[in-house]
Structure 1
C-alpha cells in the first residue's frame, strides 16, 4: 500500500517512518475499515459526531460538576486550533507536546492539534525533565501546550527552541486567554488518512524510549474494532477510568472511544482506585477502564458505594488473574472485559466480552485483527505450546527512526514481546513477558532505565532492577545494588536512594524495594544473571 499525498508542510514525521518493507502487513479489507484518502480524525471524532448526535449532548465532565457539551467542546477546540495556527505559527506536521493532568482542557488541546494537522506528543504529567528532554529531542518538538501546574519540569528540560504555552493560569499569554480572542469555526486541515497524527512514547527493555507513530486512520480503526465490535458503547454511556491520556490505553478509553460513539467521559485528575469508586457512584459511570490492580483494591471498598450504574468494565495494562475476575463478578455481577494492547498498536487487539469471556485467558483476536503464537523463527507453534504472541490488523508498529523496528515487526507480523499459549479453540492465554519489562499496576517499567538512574548516585557501584511477583500490583520493581565501601546499607540509605531516583524519573518507576548486596550474580563471562535476582530471597532494607 502506497502512502497518499501528505498535507504536512513539516515532513519530519513521514520522513522518519521506517522503510515500507519493515512495516507489518496491514488488514484494511473489512468494509468498516475502508477509510477515505483524506481523513482528519479530530474532525471525525468531534465535528461529525456533533452533527450526528447534536451539539447539546454532554461530551466531557470534569468531576467538579462541570459539563461540556459537544457544541461547547467544538467551540473551545476550534479556538485553541486558531491559537495554534494564527498566534503560535504551528503548521501541519509540527510536533506539539501536550502535558498535564487528565482534564477536559487537555483533551481539547489534543483534538485541536488533530484538527490543525499537527502531530500530538502527549506525555505523562509525572515525567521528569530528563525524560522530557529525550522525547522532545527524538521528535524534534518545538511547541508545547502545558497545564500551568506542570510547567516547571518542562522548563527544566531546557529543550532548544521549545515554545511552551501554558493553560489554566493568569498570564496574559495563557492559552485560554489567547483562545478567548478568537471566534468562528476552524476548518480542519484535510490531512491524509496516513498522515501521522500522534507519536506515543513507550520504553523498551533498554530504557531508551521508542516513539510509536500512528496515522489519522489508526485512531479511528481502534475505535471501529475493539470499541465498536467488543465494547459496544452507546450514546448514553459515561466513560471513566484511571489511565492518563499520555497512555494510549487512556487516550482510547477516555477520548477516542466515547467521542466516536457520541457518548461522554468523566475526566478525573485523581483517578486511583479509591477515587474511582465515589466518582462512579456520584456521576453514574457506566463504562470503566482500569488495571487489574485497581479492581483488586476496589473489591475491599465496594460495600460503601453504589456502583449499580456500571455495565462495562475493561481491564488492560497487565495480566488479569482469573481469581480477580471471579471475585469481581461474584461481588458485582459484572464480567470484566480483559484485553491486551500495546502502544505500538495503539490499543486492544485481543479480548472477549459477555458470554465469550473465559476467565484466565485474554480472549480471541478482536474483529479486524489476527493473532497467532510463533517460535523464534516466526513459525506457528502447536496449540498448547508456549511461544511469542504475533498479531496483525488495521494498525501496525512504526517506530520513529529506531532500529528496533525489525525486532518488533517480523515476517509481516507485530511480535509483542509476550509469551502466550493458544488453546485448541483459539483462545489465547497469557504466560509472561518475554523480556525484562516490569509491569506494575498497569505501568511499564524498564529495569535498565531505573538502573541508569541509580548508577548516577555517587554511592552506587552496580545496580540491577527486576520485577518481583506481587499479589496487589502484579509485579513490583526491586533494585539490587552494590554500593561503595563505607557507604551506609540501612533503611535510611535505601530511602535516600529511592528519593534520588524520584528526582530523575517518574515516581511510578521508583523501586518499591532496595536490596543491598556485596556483588551481583554474574556468569564467568560477566553477564548479569537476572533470573537469580528474581529468585532472590534476600532481606529487604
Structure 2
C-alpha cells in the first residue's frame, strides 16, 4: 500500500495529505497511542540500527541505537513506577543530548508520565519559574546543575550519572504501554514568552501524528534520509522536528551537545554523510561567518530553517556551498508549523525570503485591523483558521500574487535572536531585581550575526561603565538562561511613557530605526 512517505511532490501533497493517511504511518490509533513506542520501541528489532548520532562540542561522537534507547527507557519506566510515579505526573529533565537524555525523555512517556524538557543553560530564576509552573515529581539533571537544582525548594532532584544507570539496569528491558491517544505526554516551554511566568504548551500523544505534516512538508523527512538538527531538544524545533519526527519514521537523526560551534557542526555533516538538515537561520549564518565551509565535503539534498528570517548573504552562502535551496518553515510551539516550502519537491519553486505556502489542509490569511482580507503584497496580521474561527499568530505578513507568504515583523514584544525566542517582559522583570536599577525597557535591535539582539535601556543612579554593563548581563543570564540577556545596554535619564504611564517601547524602536537610517 502506498504511504504518504512514498510521495515527494508538491502536487501529490495537495491530493494525498489528510488525517487518515497520517494515521496509517503509526502502530497506534485514535484510541491508543504512545509516543515512545512510535519513536523507539517499534524499531528496536535487535538489528542495532542507529537512532541518534550526537556530535559533542569537544569533538567526540556518541552513537545510540534504537535497541539501546528502548531497553534503557523501559528500565527507567519500571524504576519510575517503583518510585511511586503515577500516569500524569511530570518528570522534568535538564540534560544535554546523551543516553541519559533519551532514557528520561522516552522512559517517562513510556510509563504514562509527562516529559518536561528544560534548557541546560537555565539559571536559578529560569528554572524556578518553570518548576513552579509544571510542578514536577522529580527533576533529572547532571552534576553541573545539581547545585542550582537543589536551591529550588521542594524539588526532588536526581542526578543522571553512572550510579543512576547502574540502578535502573536491574529492571526489565521491556515495558507494556497503556496510554490513550488523548493522554498528556509532553509539556513544552517556548524559549520565550510575553508572560512573566511562562506556561507550558501541553501536548498529547496524538500530537505526534499532527507533527508529521511538518516532518513531511516542512523538513522533507523520508525513510532513507540521514538527518541532522543542531537545535537543542529542550525547545520545540529540536524536540519535535529534530528528535520525535525523524524517529517516528524510523529515520536516524543527529544532534549537537554542548556549546555550539559551526566548524564542529560542518565536520559532523561531513562525517555522518548528512543528506537532510533542519536548523535555525543562525546556524547557517554562523557557518558562513566561520569561513571554513570549503574545508569539508557535503552530501546535503534537503535543507530547511526556522526561528527567524534568513538574510540574503546567508541565503547566497547556502546556495553556493550546499547547492540546495534553503526552505523556510514557520510556526510556533502553540500552533505548530503552518507554512512550509516542501523540501525535496521537484515541482515546487522556493522563493527566497518567503515563509512558503500553507501545509495541506490548513487555511491562512492576512487580515487588516477590521478583519477584512488584505490585497496582494499588503501588510496585515497573519491569521490561522482554527476551530471555526480566525486565530491571530501575533505576526505581521503579506501574501504575493502566487500565494507565497512573507514575514513582516512581530506583532508583540517577543525578541527573536539567533533562533531563540526571548521575552522582553521577562528580562525586564529580572533586571529590576538588581539593586542599582530603577527602570528598564528591553527591545530587539538588528544584529548582523544574530538577526536581532536584546537591547536594554536602563535608568540608574549608578554611574555608567563597562563593568556595570557586564554585571547586569551576568546578573540576567544567571537568573534566566545563558542566551537570555541584553547584549546591548544604554543608560538613559528616563524612559518614554504612554499617557497611562506604561513604557512606550514603540518610541524606543523608532529611535533605533532612525539611528539605522541616519
Question: Is the shorter-chain TM-score for this pair beyond 0.5, marking a shared fold?
Answer: yes
Decide whether the 8 Å contact of 2:217 with 2:341 is kept in 1. no
**TM-score for both structures, normalised by structure 2:** 0.87
Shift of 1:516: 0.4
User: 2 CA distance for matches of 1:387 and 1:39?
Assistant: 40
Return the match for 1:219 from 208, 211, 223: 208
Higher alpha-carbon deviation: 58-67 or 462-471: 58-67
User: 2 CA distance for matches of 1:368 and 1:481?
Assistant: 47
Decide whether the 8 Å contact of 2:35 with 2:208 is kept in 1. yes
Structure 2 residue runs without a partner (length 5+): 1-16
Return the match for 2:64 from 62, 68, 81: 68
The reply to whether residue 375 of structure 1 matches residue 368 of structure 2 is yes
Return the match for 1:78 from 47, 65, 74: 74
The reply to whether residue 253 of structure 1 matches residue 241 of structure 2 is yes
User: 2 CA distance for matches of 1:80 and 1:109?
Assistant: 7
Return the match for 2:226 from 233, 238, 255: 238
CA RMSD of aligned residues (A): 2.4
**TM-score for both structures, normalised by structure 1:** 0.84
The reply to whether residue 412 of structure 1 matches residue 389 of structure 2 is yes
Decide whether the 8 Å contact of 1:38 with 1:192 is kept in 2. yes
Return the match for 1:43 from 37, 40, 58: 37
Distance 1:168 1:311, change over 3 A: farther
The reply to whether residue 178 of structure 1 matches residue 167 of structure 2 is yes
Distance 1:349 1:153, change over 3 A: farther
Shift of 1:65: 3.8
Deviations 1:145-168 (A, max 9, x none): 22333222221122x2x3222112
User: 2 CA distance for matches of 1:184 and 1:327?
Assistant: 47
Distance 1:230 1:508, change over 3 A: closer
Q: Which residue of 1 aligns with 2:85?
A: 90
Decide whether the 8 Å contact of 1:337 with 1:351 is kept in 2. yes
Runs of 4+ in 1 over 6 A off after TM superposition: none
Q: How does 1:285-296 map to 2 (within 5 A)?
A: 285-296=274-285
Q: Which residue of 1 aligns with 2:132?
A: 137
User: 2 CA distance for matches of 1:377 and 1:167?
Assistant: 54
User: 1 CA distance for matches of 2:482 and 2:317?
Assistant: 30
SS class of match (1:502): helix
The reply to whether residue 326 of structure 1 matches residue 316 of structure 2 is yes
Decide whether the 8 Å contact of 1:481 with 1:514 is kept in 2. yes
Shift of 1:212: 0.7
Q: Which residue of 2 aligns with 1:298?
A: 287
Q: Which residue of 2 aligns with 1:58?
A: 50
Distance 1:213 1:239, change over 3 A: same
Structure 1 residue runs without a partner (length 5+): 1-26, 394-408
Q: Which residue of 1 aligns with 2:458?
A: 481
Q: Which residue of 2 aligns with 1:12?
A: none
Return the match for 2:150 from 151, 155, 169: 155
Q: How does 1:2-17 map to 2 (within 5 A)?
A: none
Decide whether the 8 Å contact of 2:218 with 2:340 is kept in 1. no
Q: Which residue of 2 aligns with 1:495?
A: 470
Q: Which residue of 2 aligns with 1:389?
A: 382
The reply to whether residue 338 of structure 1 matches residue 334 of structure 2 is no
User: 2 CA distance for matches of 1:227 and 1:419?
Assistant: 25
Decide whether the 8 Å contact of 2:329 with 2:337 is kept in 1. no
Shift of 1:79: 1.2
Distance 1:29 1:265, change over 3 A: closer
Distance 1:523 1:309, change over 3 A: same
User: 1 CA distance for matches of 2:118 and 2:62?
Assistant: 25
User: 1 CA distance for matches of 2:261 and 2:360?
Assistant: 31
